Amino acid sequence: MSRLLATLTISLCFVVSALTAQQPAPAGRGAGRGPQAPPPPAPAPGSPAIYKSNTELSEGLKQAIARANGEQSSAAVANTDQYRINVVHREKAAGALAHAGNTELHYIIEGSGTVVTGGTIVRPAAGAGGTATIQNGETRRLQKGDVIVVPAGSPHWYSQVDSPITYLEVRFVAPTK
């Protein structure tokens, strides 16, 4: 990871804080990740910035990878009731999913792969095994330096991981008009 990640993280924390200051937290924020304690509230306006150094982020991700199942791991940057910011590392493809109420941004730090967005999530029949996929979605190749923004409720799926992919993930409630 580079200094760019630390700078980007700090900038995104400010942007997300500003965007979500007046928005209610959506339900089901931790869905699919097991029981979790409720995240703390977002810092009050005028609070000091949330800061994590490149060393802290790298070490947190390294520890998360060591504890993980070898497929996906993440290290928290800042998770509150208004936003979730993590560094995510994927070793292989995973099933399709969608996050109700949360717009999601991925900034690719390392690696490459294919992501499918939009369309319809297709789940395997009960007992058939396999993972959820997307039908009639848009396929894009992602590599280091790319950014993808997935609107709230939109299906997304890392269908292929060419080399282990690491990205900054920011989930937030996007203001509505």
**Whether the Cβ atoms of residue 119 and residue 137 lie closer than 8 Å to each other:** yes
For 114-165, the pLDDT digits (tens) are 999 999 999 998 888 889 999 999 999 999 999 999 999 999 999 999 999 9
Mean pLDDT of the region 97-126: 95
CA quadruple 176, 118, 140, 130: dihedral sign? positive
Token readout for 93 is: 């493809």
Q: What's this model's pTM, rounded to 2 decimal places? A: 0.75
Map out the domains of the chain with their CATH numbers. Answer: 3-23+50-172 (2.60.120.10)
